[in-house]
Amino acid sequence: MIISIASGKGGTGKTTVAVNLALSLSNVQLLDCDVEEPNSHIFLKPEINDVTSACTLVPVIDHDLCDYCGKCAAACEYNAIVVLPTQVMVFSELCHGCGLCSMVCPQDAISEETREIGVIKTGRSGDNIELVYGLLNIGEIMAAPLIDHVKEAISPEKTVIIDAPPGTACPVIAAISDSDYCILVTEPTPFGLYDLKLIVEVLKVLKIPSGVVINKAGIGNQDVYDYCKEEKIPILLKIPYDKKIAEYYSEGTPFVNTIPEWKNRFAEMIDEIGGES
Ligand code: SF4
Ligand code: SF4
């Protein structure tokens, strides 16, 4: 089963849930797809055994063959190619590597070269967890292709947990698509509710079933609970607003390691949604 952990915004406790959940299950693979700022490894302290360069393809124009017809620029949905009367400019940072421009070029003037966008690191944490995470190169904006590379490591023999990037844009879609279930982490505050509504709408389009984990339960108001009831979204778990849990987080210690009864709660949550604990 592939379970993604998402939230409409950062800082709601998404990685806390992903890491503590992974530590509560057996035979699990955690993919940290928050490639701009992966931090699951800070808590899991894995032994890294593989580092692979991740590349995407970008077009290269042969100016001897090009007649500046503009078909490549018209075909590119990402405005990554601009054709001027005597020049073709490629903005490789915007290119998604889809290859369409080279397919439509009538002069065969476009070839492709690889460009490194980041690295994929693979390691083990304890006996149970395989951790795979992507690290986007500094200044790189193309998170989605790197996330696709991270997801190539998915193991069908394991329970797969995907720690998705925050927000509701392309990188989140790349991370959560093909998931069997999505756990949404939110706080019971007006900000939490606003962002929760956005990600719920995304999941409706993607047709991925979901449930909510309330982090810092006890603060805020009832609105998130009422919204979940109205939308018939199950509340799977409530993690209380607790000074001790916050202290463990700030020390980089997953709280299930120090409050072991939480392992049962996370495992029961996975049983509830149909996975294997
Ligand atoms: S489609 Fe080919 S020939 Fe036309 S402008 Fe682009 S690179 Fe040049
Ligand atoms: S490969 Fe795709 S995204 Fe990149 S420039 Fe060509 S058409 Fe645009």
State pLDDT tens for residues 155-193: 999 999 999 998 888 899 999 999 999 999 999 999 889
Atom of ligand 2 nearest to the CA of 102: 6
Set out the domains of the chain in order of their start, with CATH numbers: 2-54+118-272 (3.40.50.300), 63-108 (3.30.70.20)
Amino acid 170 reads C
Per-residue confidence (pLDDT) for residue 6, from 0 to 100 = 94
* Ligand 2 within 6 A of CB of 81: yes
**For residues 147 and 114, what is the distance between their CA atoms, to the nearest angstrom?**
17
CA 72 to ligand 1 centroid distance, Å:
6
Residues 6+ apart with CB under 8 A from 59: 72, 81, 90, 95, 101, 102, 110, 111, 112
Q: How confident is the model at residue 125 (pLDDT cuts 50, 70, 90)?
A: very high
Angle formed at CA 153 by CA 58 and CA 265, multiple of 5 degrees: 130
DSSP state of 47: E
Q: Which ligand is nearest to the Cα of residue 57, counting in written order?
A: 2
Taking residues 34-61, report their average pLDDT: 94
**Contact status, residue 28 vs residue 64, Cβ threshold 8 Å:** no
pLDDT band at 69 (very low <50, low <70, confident <90, very high): very high
Helical residues (DSSP H) of the chain, grouped into ranges:
14-24, 40-44, 71-75, 100-104, 143-151, 170-176, 190-206, 223-230, 243-250, 261-272
pLDDT over 90 at 154, yes or no:
yes
The residue-averaged pLDDT of 188-211 equals 93
Alpha-carbon distances, residue 137 vs 12, 27, 84, 93 (angstroms)? 25, 30, 30, 11
Any atom of ligand 2 within 6 Å of the Cβ of 145: no
